[in-house]
Structure formats: structure tokens, C-alpha cells
Structure 1
Amino acid sequence: MFFNAQTFDLEVIKQSGDDDKRINLVILSDGYQASEFSKLITDAASFSTEMFTQSPFKEYTNYFNVYIIKVPSNESGTDHPATATDVTEPVFPAATKDTYFNTSFDTSGFHRLLYTYSSSLVYNVLANNFPEYDQPIILVNSSEYGGAGGPYAVSSTGASANEIVIHELGHSLFNLRDEYYPGDGRLFEAINATQETNPTLVKWKNWMGIDAIDIYPYGTSGEAATWNRPHQSCKMRYLGVDFCAVCTEGIVEKIHSLVPPIDSYLPISNAVTATVYPIDFQLNLIKPIPNTLKSTWTLNASNFANDVDDISIIDTDLNIGTNNLDVVVHDDSPFLKVDNHNSVHVYTVSWTITKSALGIDEIISEENDFNISLFPNPSNNILSIKVESENAVNLKVDILSLDGKQVKSTKISNYESNEIHISRLSNGVYLANIYSNNMLLTSKRFVKN
């Protein structure tokens, strides 16, 4: 019998930064005896190496840590009850193995569905050994093909094991659906699955006609014909191929929702008793490869610098009294099409600098994250804007024509869907400039028709 409070050895496979500022993938072993832990390390390292050679993970490798919790089982392998109804059993000999998490093939009657419902064991091990986890992966010591998505991803170590894990992570961490037909009643609206057939309304409309993205039915009859996917050859359909552009965008957006690209910054809030100019301000960013992060620095609402990680301010840059230095960071990755996409992630650091005739009295800093949504786009009468941020203050939106003329300005509320009436605007393309405390967060194009 195993005890819930047990602790196990932790192995580092990949460490890019502090656990509280990275996405932590935590591999749990099942069906590995203690004597097989060298094989476990080899299997886990093989998966990690493969994952970070594929897009978009290779570009965002700096955002991930990978660990193993070495959980020993009494026996090697996993259960195969030979009860699947989708194949002629036994596909391989029936067996019952004494493993820690009690994984098994033939889950829900599907032979390849390798899973465990012992979720309390899984989460107890995580709580006692690595509570900072973001996504658990159960690696099962079996050479047979199998795996599953869900709250935790599960994979065997046989043929295509690395591809199985990456595919299942598409489900478990990134909320993607299968792009092969999984059966009636198993699809719902998601990033890469929809019943919408209108090209101007489909959720991947920003990618239509690019990289073979279109609206493809899952099948020609029955329920399958009522569901659509964005691509004909995506990793969520076939192992061994790339993620399509729609799934890639969804993965990158989830990465940004989990990990801000600002790893640290200086100076942090402090009281200053003496000042030696220049005063240095800097960002330590978690940079994609190649770096696609863009930054805009403003001092007292005037542009000061762009796309640099540090700046210096001299005495004459500052006014007597309160000064506001802000930097806004966003990702300009080609994996994202934010001009015609509902949401964008923006990250900021703001410094309030108090200057007197004697020097700098105080510097106060604040970091903030924003998730900004603008929809529908195009719009006829009402444009909805939603800003989500713990520290947003004095939010407003200015609507400008492309020649720079302001045609509308209004205050908006945090965490609410704010309706902007645009029926009186002429048809055309406009910019929505969204501000927090006079700091420009983002400028989004939208179409009035």
C-alpha cells in the first residue's frame, strides 16, 4: 500500500528560470520500478528534447521548466484488461500490474486510451513533492502505443511516445481538441473546433487563406459533418506533423496567459536619500527565440525609447514633483494576428518618480498584466471592449480615424464588457487606443461596416 504523504526524488530535466515565473511541466512515473529510473530519465529527457525542437515550443523554450518526480512502482508496466471494444482483444497479452497510479489501457472501451482515474493519488504526489506544477504528465513504462489527455496528460513510452505526449499536452495544457473525428458527442466549441461555417465569423477568420487554413468538415455525414476544423494536417489530427497556425496561436496565447515576459526589473520601490545621475531603469525579459518582444518607454506620457531593455534618465529629463515612467511590453510574434484577433496580452512596469530641488525623494514601482479583448471585429453598431487586470486604473478608450483624428473617447471599467456605440461612424478602418492612467496599452485596428 502507498501512503499519500510520501515524498520522492525530484530530477531536473530542463530549468529556464524560477519556478514561480515559468511553466512547470512535471513528469510522474508509473510502472517504473526503482531499478528502472535510469530508463525513466532517458525517456523523459527524450520527450523534453523533442518537444523543444518543435514550434512553437522551440521559440518559447525559455518559458518552460521540466521536472521528473521519480515515483516507484512495485511492478514494471501497466494494466491491460483486454476489455476494449474498438479492437479485437487481446491486442497483446492481458495483464494486471501493481503500479503506483494504477494506469490502464482499454479505458472507456478504447484500447489505445491509457489513463488512470486515481486522481487523488496524482494530486497528492504533486502537492507533497512539487506544488508549483502547471501541468502534470504521467509517463507509463509500456512499449505499447497509448495515451490520453485530460487534467493530466498520459503517454506510454513506445513508438511515437514523444509525439503522443506533445499531442496530449495540446489537450491538457492548451485546450485544443482532436482534429480527427473522436466520435459523436465528443466535440465542443474550442480554439480549433467549431460548428460555425461563415468565413467572416469563424473564430480563426484572421487566418483564413493563410497556411492552408480554411473551414474543413470533420466528415461528410452525421454529426461529423456539423463540426469543422481549421486544417487538414495538424498535430491534433496526425502525429509527426506540425501544429497548424490556429493551434500554434492558441498555444502561444496560453503561454502568455501563464507567464508574463517580464522576469524582473530595476529599480523596485524604494526610498532614495541621495541621487547620482543618471538613474538606470532596466527590464530582464524572458525572450522568445528569435526575440519578438517589443517595448515602448514613455516618460510623462511622451515617448522616451523603443525596443530596449534599459534606459538612463538624467536630471533635466525630470520635472519637479511627480514624474511617471512607463514601459509597455507585448509580443509581436508572427504566430499571433492581433489586429484581427479578439484578445491581446500586454505587460507593464510603471515607476512614479518624485523629484524635489534636493534630488529624488522616492521611486515607487508597480508591475501589471493586462488581457484586452475587442469584439466583434468587424462591427456594425456596438464595439465591445474588455480589460482584465488586477491593478488597472483610469481606463479609457480613444477611437481615431486612420488620419489620426479622434472621433470618440470614453471611460471604461475593468473586468466588464464595455459597449462602445459606433453606429454614427462612417464605414471604414479605425484605431482603438486603450489607456490605463494615461499609459497607452495597445492600439487595435477594427472595421466599422
Structure 2
Amino acid sequence: MTASATASTGSATASPGASGPAAHADAASAQRTLDVEYFTGPGGHPRHTEVPAATPERLARAAGPLSAKEAAADGEVGSVVENGTTADKLDVVFIGDGYTSGQQEDFHADARSKWEQMSAVQPYASYQDLFNVWTVDAVSNQSGVSGDPSKDVVKDTALGSYFWCDDIERLLCVDTAKVESYAAKAPQADLVVVLSNSTKYGGAGYTLTSQVGYDGIATASSDHADSDQIAVHETGHSLGKLADEYFYPEYGTYTGAEPEESNATKLSAAELTAQQQKWYRWIGQTSPDGGTVGAYEGGRYYPKGINRPTDNSIMRTLGREFSLPGREAMIAGFYRHASALSSRTATATAVKRSAGIEVDVPKGASLTWYVDGAEVTTANGKTSVTPAELGVPGDGATHKVTAKATDTTDAVKDPALRKLLSDSRTWKVTG
């Protein structure tokens, strides 16, 4: 989200018996607030508010210890989708809250379902090969979520999820320090989604910098059909670095500098084209969210002085598609974490002429092989080869085999972003 908070998600509770400067520091941490984005209902425009980073005391004091058996299962990591090494893929981590030790399989099923819904949205649908998806079990003493079905309901859960956050019924908050402690158990966490065990509509989007490496937390109710849209919208911020495109009448006219986000500008369509700025390459083209790309007044919370690429993309209203410029930004965001070429064949040690080299590339990507810098056209497109079949001679000398992959999609037009869509690996070959 544009109105973001950058903060460590370290513990926000004071140590018992602490005094002096340390106690004051802990108290300040406990009172720290973060900016979050929330949604009043499916298809609605989001809003922003400030919320505590930690679970309020009235809810936290209900927490009790886990049994030895429950504690042993707490923090277990599972794989939903594993397409390659964490270094080469974008790693999504689902953490459940309000699931007891006997409900962890329910959480796993909910995580699979939510990922299926999220990954059905473009451009996720075309780039599923770039993702690993993990689950981290957070065992709760009680099933459900505080504030569901009514404000006075208090549940003892691992992450302290609660509706009625900041006195807003649909705002679903969590203890961000506890989320980080569980996310750290996954092999890698580039994107974190908390699924709270509830059928009630709600969620939130936190923008923060975690020590684990992710740039935000999305919360969503596990069993509401539209809650996946909250997570998708939030990834527009965390992955695509996109601005919100909705606006509030009371904000008036924007008079600041040109926004950094790629989907917000002070320029008109004609000025974008003349100056070759931002989404000028897409102007006039039909966009999947409806209408044509241009410069539509209103965005980044201001009704005047800021233009957006299309009338009504998912960055304005849930349930919509990403616009063409939005899809371009999302694909670039995927490749900031993932690679166009991945391989489980190590490059750190030499391989033999007869050894297999296997690589993975996204669907539609070109794959080219080289031996000592010379292209081997007969091998292009093959994801499994041996140096011998590539023509590496058995002369006892050391040779180099290189694989290069390039995503040739026409959904990314910006040359600067297209550089993210290529990668290569080189192996030394002996014997």
C-alpha cells in the first residue's frame, strides 16, 4: 500500500518485572502502531487506519500454554507447491490462526484452496512455475477468531487474530511479531498470508519491512469466498510496488512531486506519450480490467491532481483484474524474487561429460544452450541435457556449458523491466 509503515516486527510486549530504560523501550514497542489497509466488503473500496502492532491486552491475557504434544506439532512446515530452490523461486508462506492441533489438516486444505484462488488471477495464472508455496502450522488452544461472530468473543489463538480491530468489524488484525516468528520457520518467506479460521468476511494489509525478508503481511478469513481478493490486492503493493487507485473526496487536489509508483502520475495521457513516461507504451490498448489504457483522474487517495492508467482495476476495487500496466509491474515483481532459469544441478563443482544437467524455465520462455560461448541450436528448448550430447569433446580439457533463458512475454514492454526476465547458469565440464 502507498501509505506504508516501515518497522521491525520484533516483540511488542513488555518483559515482566522490567524497569528503567528497558521497560520504557518495551512499553513503547507495545504501543507501536502500523498503517493497514482494510476492506469493508467484497467489491468495496479500501480504507486505511493505524492499528497496534501487537494484540491488545484484553485479548492477549486469554492466552494459555500448549500441551507437550501440541507444542511438538507447533511450527511444522509443509509444502503446497515446490517448483525449485528458494533462491530461484518466489516463496509464499501461509500461516494459519485459530486452528487447534486437530485442525491442522483443515488449515492445509484452506491454504491449498486460497492459493488456487489467488493463482487463478492474472498474471499469477501464467506464472505459477515461479512460485513455491509453504505452510507453517501455528497451533491454537481454541478454534476460531476473536470478534467472530460478535465483538465480545475472545479466542486463545497462536497469532492473536481479531476482528473489530480499531473498532472496525471487518478489519482482521494480528500480532505482527508472532507472525514473523512463524514465518521465520519456512525455508524462505517473500510473501506472507495469514489465514484466520473463520467464515466471516475480513482481512487487512500491512506494509512493513521484516527481518525475515518479506515486505508485508496479508490477513484473510479462511472460509469466505472473496477473501483471496484481499491478498491479491495487497500483493499489488508488496510485489508490484503499485499505488492504490481509489480516492477520497476530502483529500482534494494533489500538489506534491511526481509519485514514485508506476501506476500514478501527474501527467495527462498526451504528456505521458510526449515525454515517454511510465505507462505510455500501453496508452490506447484494451485492458483486461475493462476499457482502454489512458490517464483517468483520481488515484493514490486524491480525486484531483493524480491520474491512474485505467478506470477500475483491482488496485481500485476488489474483484477486478490488474490493468495492463499493473500486470507488467506484477510480472517484474515476480522476477525480483524469482529467476527465469532455475536448476538443481550445482554450478559450484565441475560436472562430467556424461552427467545430466537439468533446468526449469517458465512456460513460454526461450531456452538456449552454449558450449564455450558457441550456441548449440539443436539443443535449444531442451530442459535436460548432458555435456556430451551438446558436443563437449572428451579431450581432457575444461569446458563451459551455459544455459540462458528469456521470458519472451509481450506483457512487459519496459526495457528496464525486461532485463529482469532473463537469467543464465554456467557449468564447468571435465572428463
TM over 0.5: yes
Structure 2, unmatched stretches of 5+, are: 1-62, 207-215
1:212-237 Cα offsets, whole Å, 9 max, x none, are 222112269x9321222212232222
Question: Are positions 1:121 and 2:178 aligned together?
Answer: yes
Determine which of 179, 194, 200 is the counterpart of 2:245. 179
Provide the rounded CA distance (Å) in 1 between the counterparts of 2:178 and 2:218: 15
1:222-264 Cα offsets, whole Å, 9 max, x none, are 9321222212232222222322222211221122121213222
Shift in Å, 1:300: 5.5
| 2:84 and 2:344 in contact (8 A); partners too | no
| 2:245 and 2:299 in contact (8 A); partners too | no
2:220 maps to a residue whose letter is: S
Closer/same/farther in 2, CA of residues 322 and 52 from structure 1, 3 Å limit: same
Determine which of 121, 130, 134 is the counterpart of 2:186. 130
Figure out how many residues of one structure are paired with residues of the other and give that number. 335
| 1:79 and 1:103 in contact (8 A); partners too | yes
Superposition pairs of residues 73-222 of structure 1, within 5 angstroms: 73-80=140-147, 93-108=151-166, 110-116=168-174, 118-127=175-184, 129-150=185-206, 151-157=216-222, 158-181=224-247, 184=251, 189-197=260-268, 198-200=271-273, 201-210=276-285, 211=287, 212-218=292-298
2:77 maps to a residue whose letter is: L
Closer/same/farther in 2, CA of residues 280 and 154 from structure 1, 3 Å limit: same
Shift in Å, 1:138: 0.7
Question: Are positions 1:294 and 2:375 aligned together?
Answer: no
Secondary structure (helix, strand or coil) at the match of 1:121 reads helix
Closer/same/farther in 2, CA of residues 95 and 209 from structure 1, 3 Å limit: same
2:228 maps to a residue whose letter is: N
| 2:93 and 2:192 in contact (8 A); partners too | yes
Provide the rounded CA distance (Å) in 1 between the counterparts of 2:263 and 2:391: 51
| 1:74 and 1:100 in contact (8 A); partners too | yes
The structure with the largest helix share of the pair is: 2
1:274-310 Cα offsets, whole Å, 9 max, x none, are x97xx788551232xxx22123445555544284334
| 1:267 and 1:281 in contact (8 A); partners too | no
13-22 or 62-71, which moves further after superposition? 13-22
Shift in Å, 1:133: 2.1
Superposition pairs of residues 404-423 of structure 1, within 5 angstroms: none
Relative to the length of structure 1, the TM-score reads 0.63
Provide the rounded CA distance (Å) in 1 between the counterparts of 2:398 and 2:187: 42
1:295 maps to a residue whose letter is: L
Shift in Å, 1:160: 0.8
How many percent of aligned residue pairs carry the same amino acid?
24
Closer/same/farther in 2, CA of residues 225 and 266 from structure 1, 3 Å limit: same
Closer/same/farther in 2, CA of residues 341 and 41 from structure 1, 3 Å limit: closer
41-50 or 187-196, which moves further after superposition? 187-196
Secondary structure (helix, strand or coil) at the match of 1:25 reads strand
1:125 maps to a residue whose letter is: Y
**Structure 2 partner of 1:335:** 411
1:136-185 Cα offsets, whole Å, 9 max, x none, are 11111232222122221111232412222222333334333322226859
The structure with the largest strand share of the pair is: 1
**Structure 1 partner of 2:89:** 22
**Structure 1 partner of 2:209:** none
Relative to the length of structure 2, the TM-score reads 0.65
**Structure 2 partner of 1:349:** 425
Secondary structure (helix, strand or coil) at the match of 2:260 reads coil
**Structure 2 partner of 1:418:** none
Provide the rounded CA distance (Å) in 1 between the counterparts of 2:426 and 2:295: 43
Provide the rounded CA distance (Å) in 2 between the counterparts of 1:110 and 1:248: 31
| 1:147 and 1:164 in contact (8 A); partners too | yes
Which structure has the higher relative contact order (CA within 8 Å, separation 6+)? 2
| 2:412 and 2:418 in contact (8 A); partners too | no
